[in-house]
Amino acid sequence: MQSSTNYSQFEKRENSDWPIFQTSENINNLPFWDKRPYLFFEGNQIVMKGTLKRIGKNKQIPKAYMFILLKTGELIYVDNNQKGKIQLDLSIVLKKIELTNEENEDKQKISAIRIERFQNCSIHIWNEDNSISINIWYNRLAQFCISSNFEGFFQLHDKLDEGAFSSVFTVTSQFQEELKNQKYAAKVYSKSLQQKIPAQQMKDFIYAECQILKIVNSQYIVKLYEIIQLEDVVILILEYVSGGTLYEILQQKVLNELMSLEILYQIMLAVKEVHHHGFVHRDIKLENIMIQSLNPIEIKLIDFGFAEKINRNKLVNGSGTAGYIAPELFQLAPYTENCDMFSLGVLFYLLLCGNSPFGTQNKEILLELNKTCNLQYLSKEWQNISSSTQKIVKKMLDKDHTKRITILELELLLDIHINKLRFNQANSRQALNQLQNCNNVIMQNQRPAIRTASNNKKCDDDDMLIEEKSIDNTNLINLKNSHQYYNKSKWVS
């Protein structure tokens, strides 16, 4: 096909009032490309590179260019020099369409990708020689912006869950050979939800979740692969996690203190990544933690619909789950990182003891106890938890948010404490093995080893030697340096 061939768009475009993601109005007739970018990048920054044909804005004659997609989401087109670039993000809409050759008697059609930056401001790119490659390009581009295709790319299967604002299904990829039949989770938001909640509130939920999942990078946060917007639904193509929720695991009563600490540490790393990008999660609870595996333990933090940018001056949104809400929020204090820490403390208490620190399931009573931060540490299960773990929980659940432990302090203390517990557990197993193989060992002399070996018995009070002063900021560096095995990568499952 010659480069002078005239093409026109084959599909019929219709205006949509779906409010979630829209390209902005091209009021000032802005260009599609940012011209002459003069970017400097290394080869390892390139995600995709290849020669594609392009029809630009208000053009019908295609021309071949080298296109380069970077890990940062920048798409560059190159002639002899760099010609232009565009930053792919949630304001850009992507769709695989068909172009038709108006000069060909058979009206020959080719598959192309339409990238729309502003309303009525788009380009089309394609590869005539290899139709598979255009699918690969589409797949890579879609990871950075909004796409409009679902059928032909994914196949819908079973419903996994249904909540107040969305439903979750399993889907499989259908268009790329190396990913074909790979399972994903599709979170579907329907336009009909506008009848339940205000349209702007629904838009905020969906936009917040997409915005955060696009920028975070943690093995403990569910991965977002693609956002698909159709006429009546928005679909998030997410990593599929098969192990159920942390709430379901807790009901099975398979967790011990060390496992609970390891789970806490991974959730803490996920929340730390969210905070690093200037957001708070605002809905940390058992149901929002998915289990990737129990052996070794690996979790995924999900559901960012309530997340928002940190505002230290005022409370923007007072939503939350009863029993997890930081007490200062009842006084309309701003929602900051300390509020997430309180919710994480409640979750940790539940992992350790199996019940709420407020001791009730009645919602009205629970909210009142939550508001006054009336905590209970009297259960039998709590008595069997090591003193160091108890101190960490109490620091996380401190009513005074200015005294509450920070996420950096928590990371340090968990690192030391978990390594100590693992060391004790390993020694205890060794001692028990020796006991079974030696009939002459006196049982009384082995009691300390037996006591530490049992996950259902109370650990020694000096397992970590956490004093109140050791949690203060001024002593953290000395505490860190006093443990030669301080290395978080050594114990993360």
Which residues does 458 contact at the CB level (< 8 Å), separation at least 6?
Answer: 383, 384, 385, 386, 451
Q: For residue 12, give the amino acid letter.
A: K
pLDDT at 437: 57
For the CA atoms of 336, 342, 344, 347, the dihedral, rounded to the nearest 10 degrees, stands at -150
pLDDT at 475: 46
The CATH code of the domain at 7-144 is 2.30.29.30
pLDDT at 52: 93
pLDDT in tens, 93-138: 999 998 887 666 677 788 899 999 988 888 999 987 766 788 889 9
Within 37-108, strands assigned E span 46-55, 63-70, 74-78, 82-87, 93-101
CATH 1.10.510.10 range(s) for the chain read 245-493
pLDDT in tens, 279-331: 999 999 999 999 999 888 999 999 998 999 999 998 888 778 999 999 999 99
3-state secondary structure of 288: helix
CATH 3.30.200.20 range(s) for the chain read 154-239
The CATH code of the domain at 154-239 is 3.30.200.20
3-state secondary structure of 167: strand
The CATH code of the domain at 245-493 is 1.10.510.10
pTM recorded for the entire structure: 0.81
Residues of the chain under the 50 pLDDT cut? 1-4, 10-16, 439-463, 465-493
DSSP H or E stretch at residue 290 = strand 289-294
CATH 2.30.29.30 range(s) for the chain read 7-144
Phi, then psi, of 270 in degrees rounded to 5: -65, -45
